[in-house]
Amino acid sequence: MVTNFGIGTLGPWPPLGYTASQIDRAIGIRGDEAALKRCCEHKQAATYVIGGEFVALKTAGELYQPLFSLAEARELGSVREIVFLGLTETAPRFGFGLDADALERLKTRNDLKVTDLRSIAVQGMVAPAHLPPLAEAKALLGWHARHRFCPNCGAATALSEGGWRRDCPSCRVQHFPRTDPVVIMLTIAGERCVLGRSRRFAPTMWSCLAGFTEPGETIEEAVRREVAEEVGIACGRVRYFASQPWPFPSSIMIGCHAEALSDTIVMDREELEDARWFEREELALMLDRQHPQGLTTPPPVAIAHHIIRNYVEAGADVLR
Ligand SMILES: [Zn+2]
């Protein structure tokens, strides 16, 4: 679709953060103790080091290096969990889970940088190929940290399958890593759409509405319910756009466009600080960082940016 504003200046489509992993998860290795041991002993085996919200990086020139040899990683503090992430073309990759306190102590070291994964992604601190395995490691290690006891009987559980399961020795139930689905959507009426602001946002930023799907609900139903709850607008058609792993702590963002059937915004003040209709033309200026009041969209690392850009470029055709 050809339009006469903004679009020509938006440039090439930026990559979506934490996606396009180059790692083969090699699930056959997970349950094979001998193969896992060989991976650990591989000369080029390397690991990401994570504790709570923090990631350890080596200071190394312009970009930081997030990979440590397994021996280097063991020197950083006591390791709570080791998870097998998979294989690159040349070597096995692991995630080492330390306590958040251990990472906190590393902050004093000049040869390391300890920071959170959002900052790493938004500021482009590591080569982009590291973001998907960092997301994989953070979500998986976070799950282990929160599931050390069996939710069925309360006994201590043990890591198995290279970190892709926890087993209860008492009631024998097996527990698998969880991913929580979140719907994130842009509600559209022709040349206008609804954006909202959470109190957590930077002062100029506006974004798509979002919320967890509930048990017994389809993605489309979750989109309609969340939009109705947050801004009081009824939605008709819902169209899936794309998805993104979001390891904060362990979600998958399901990006959609939704057709508005009503107009009046009735805002949920617990969830949102503000919400209003935006013209498509105004969104083009926000994406391009040319908005007269300095309003912005989320950065390209987040799927909201892409959901908005798709609408700016294609208009209401996104609902076809
Ligand atoms: Zn149990």
| Token output for 72 | 């280097």
- As a whole-number percent, the residues of the chain with pLDDT over 70 amount to 97
pLDDT for 163: 98
Q: In this predicted structure, what is the pLDDT of residue 6? A: 47
Residue type, position 234, single letter? A
Mean pLDDT, rounded, for 286-313: 96
Q: Are 218 and 207 in contact (CB under 8 A)?
A: no
Judged against a pLDDT cut of 90, whether residue 43 lies above it is answered with: yes
Compute the distance from residue 245 Cα to the ligand 1 centre, in Å. 29
pLDDT at 5 over 70: no
Which residues on adjacent β-strands are paired with residue 292? none
User: How far are the Cα atoms of 29, 106, 158, 184, 315 from residue 212, in angstroms, in the given order?
Assistant: 33, 34, 29, 9, 26
175 CA to middle of ligand 1, Å?
9
CA of 172 relative to ligand 1 center, distance in Å: 6
Model pTM? 0.94
Q: How many Å lie between the centroid of ligand 1 and the Cα of residue 164? A: 17
For residue 62, is pLDDT > 90? Answer: no
Token pair belonging to 4: 């006469």
**pLDDT-derived band at 9, boundaries 50, 70, 90:** low
Q: What is the pLDDT of residues 147-186, one digit of tens each?
A: 999 999 999 999 999 999 999 999 999 999 999 999 999 9
d(CA 272, CA 228): 13
How far, in Å, is the centroid of ligand 1 from the Cα of 215? 23
User: For 93-109, what is the HEC assignment?
Assistant: EEEEEECHHHHHHHCCC
> Between these two residues, 7 and 205, which has the higher pLDDT value?
205
Determine the pLDDT at residue 10.
Answer: 83
Which tokens belong to 88?
């690159």
Q: Compute the distance from residue 174 Cα to the ligand 1 centre, in Å.
A: 8
- Cα-based torsion angle of the residue sequence 30, 33, 39, 40 in order, rounded to the nearest 10 degrees: 110
Contact 249, 232 (CB under 8 A): no
Ligand 1 centroid to residue 146 C-alpha, Å: 15
What separation in Å is there between the alpha carbon of 136 and the centre of ligand 1?
26
Return the ∠ at Cα 89 (arms to 84 and 91), rounded to 5°. Answer: 45
Residue 1 scores a pLDDT above 80:
no
Give the model's pLDDT for residue 8. Answer: 53
Phi-psi region of 109 (alpha: psi -120 to 50; beta: other; left: phi over 0): beta
Distance 252 CA to ligand 1 centre (A): 27
pLDDT of residue 4: 42
| Ion ligand 1 residue ranges (Cβ < 5 Å) | 150, 152-153, 155, 168, 170-171
The C-alpha atoms of residue 301 and residue 117 are separated, in whole angstroms, by 11
